[in-house]
């Protein structure tokens, strides 16, 4: 099966429908599938539930989908730099399910591993625990969290081969490997396509069995916050 598609719209063709759930990899603007997000916006698909650590920034990344009002609900751990995300949530226009960051990562990993739920101490005694099953193990209280599975996962990697084996680069790995396993269909965008055999098997982060479609993207790689100091006079 040929997994390589010419561009993001082609890779998403036939996969999108209103009301679907989408996982989107990335952390801030690091490792986000920006080409696929743009194609989602241009498709006009709406009433989305989006599972992602945050929602990009105003006007970029997932922030574009918020601006176009295509997102009904976010399952996230961080509002971040996105003022529109904050505004929509506080005004009641956007549903939001907050998760501790590690819990969100584990919920995605569990979904990909076929684990329907797991217990964690994180959130016990806080609003996070409200309405969730509590259980005591060895004298300690834990709460039940459920695994997450999406209709579609979109991820960003550094390299891929034609079979869809993926390698991520440094901190751009973040949520991408877990989400790649937890989508009913996973589409990856990468910076470089190498020949089959061009990736050492020991270096593969996401095996190609999880990746159904693949594109080579062009990436802007914006910096979320740039902090510099004035150059000292010589």
Average pLDDT over residues 171-178: 96
State the DSSP code for 36. Answer: H
Say yes or no to pLDDT of 15 above 70. Answer: yes
pLDDT of residue 147: 98
pLDDT of residue 234: 56
pLDDT grade for 233, boundaries at 50, 70 and 90? confident
pLDDT of residue 221: 75
pTM of the model: 0.93
Taking the C-alpha atoms of residue 208 and residue 186, their distance in angstroms, rounded to an integer, is 10
129 or 82, greater pLDDT: 129
Cα 20 to Cα 16, 48, 152, 221: the distances in Å are: 7, 5, 8, 27
Mean pLDDT, the chain, as a whole number? 95
* CATH fit for domain 8-116+147-216, picks 3.40.50.1370, 3.90.1150.10, 3.40.1080.10, 3.40.190.290: 3.40.1080.10
Query: 65-108, pLDDT tens digit by residue?
Result: 999 999 999 999 988 778 899 999 999 999 999 999 999 999 99
Query: 190-202, pLDDT tens digit by residue?
Result: 999 999 999 999 9
Average pLDDT over residues 117-127: 97
Instruction: Tell me the sheet residues that pair with 134.
Output: 143
State the DSSP code for 196. Answer: T
Average pLDDT over residues 159-179: 97
CB 81 within 8 A of CB 57: yes
Average pLDDT over residues 206-220: 95
Q: Interior CA angle at 30 toward 171 and 149, to 5°?
A: 90
Taking the C-alpha atoms of residue 151 and residue 64, their distance in angstroms, rounded to an integer, is 20
Average pLDDT over residues 203-216: 98
Average pLDDT over residues 162-179: 97
CB 134 within 8 A of CB 141: yes
Taking the C-alpha atoms of residue 101 and residue 128, their distance in angstroms, rounded to an integer, is 12
What residue segments make up the domains of the chain, in order of their start? 8-116+147-216
Query: 27-79, pLDDT tens digit by residue?
Result: 988 999 999 999 999 999 999 999 999 998 888 999 999 999 999 999 999 88
Taking the C-alpha atoms of residue 176 and residue 53, their distance in angstroms, rounded to an integer, is 10
- Residues 6+ away with beta carbon under 8 Å from 176: 25, 26, 31, 155, 156, 157, 166, 168, 206
Q: What order of strands is seen across the sheet that includes strand 117-120?
A: 117-120, 140-146, 134-137
**Where do runs of H (alpha helix) occur along the chain?**
8-12, 34-43, 63-67, 83-90, 101-112, 176-181
Torsion angle of the four alpha carbons 44, 193, 211, 102, in this order, in degrees rounded to the nearest 10: -80
Question: Beta-carbon neighbour count of residue 59 at 10 Å?
Answer: 11
């Amino acid at each position: 099966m040929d997994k390589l598609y010419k561009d993001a719209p082609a890779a998403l063709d036939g996969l999108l429908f209103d009301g679907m759930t989408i996982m989107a990899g990335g952390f801030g603007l690091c490792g986000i599938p920006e080409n696929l997000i743009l194609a989602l916006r241009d498709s006009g698909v709406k009433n989305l539930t989006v599972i992602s650590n945050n929602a990009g920034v105003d006007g970029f990344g997932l922030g574009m989908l918020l601006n176009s009002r295509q997102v009904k609900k976010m399952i996230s751990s961080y509002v971040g730099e996105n003022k529109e995300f904050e505004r929509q949530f506080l005004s009641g226009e956007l549903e939001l399910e907050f998760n501790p960051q590690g819990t969100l990562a584990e919920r995605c990993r569990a979904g990909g591993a076929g684990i329907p739920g797991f217990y964690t101490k994180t959130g016990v005694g806080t609003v996070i625990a409200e309405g969730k099953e509590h259980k005591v193990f060895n004298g300690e209280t834990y709460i039940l969290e459920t695994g997450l599975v999406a209709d579609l996962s979109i991820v960003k990697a550094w390299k891929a081969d034609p079979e869809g084996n993926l390698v991520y680069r440094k901190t751009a790995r973040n949520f991408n490997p877990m989400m790649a396993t937890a989508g009913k269909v996973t589409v990856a965008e990468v910076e470089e396509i190498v020949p089959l055999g061009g990736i050492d098997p020991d270096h593969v982060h996401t095996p190609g069995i999880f990746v159904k479609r693949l594109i080579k993207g062009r990436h802007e790689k914006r910096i979320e916050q740039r902090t510099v100091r004035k150059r000292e006079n010589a």
